[in-house]
Amino acid sequence: GAGTGIGLAAAEQFIQEGIAHVVVAVRKERGAELLHHLHSVVEHVKSKSKVTFVRLDLASLESVEAFAKSFAE
């Protein structure tokens, strides 16, 4: 996921490079804090990236299936 570590670093780099649409998969409890952080990155680098958050808990097969289904649509 993009909540910490390499996933977060990748999301920040995509925003800095101006990738048009960055999809960020996170668990619910990290969402609000991460949303604020990544939107501040967008503003700081004056990026035109659109950041979309999708709920995903990799420890739950049900969550993974729901994410895959919503992402495919």
Report the percentage of the chain scoring pLDDT > 90: 25
* pLDDT at residue number 29: 64
* pLDDT at residue number 62: 95
- 60 pLDDT higher than 90: yes
Contact yes or no for 58/1 (Cβ under 8 A)? yes
Buried b (16+ CB within 10 A) or exposed e, 4-34: eeeebeebbebbeeeeeebebbbbeebeeeb
Q: Token pair of 9, please? A: 């670093």
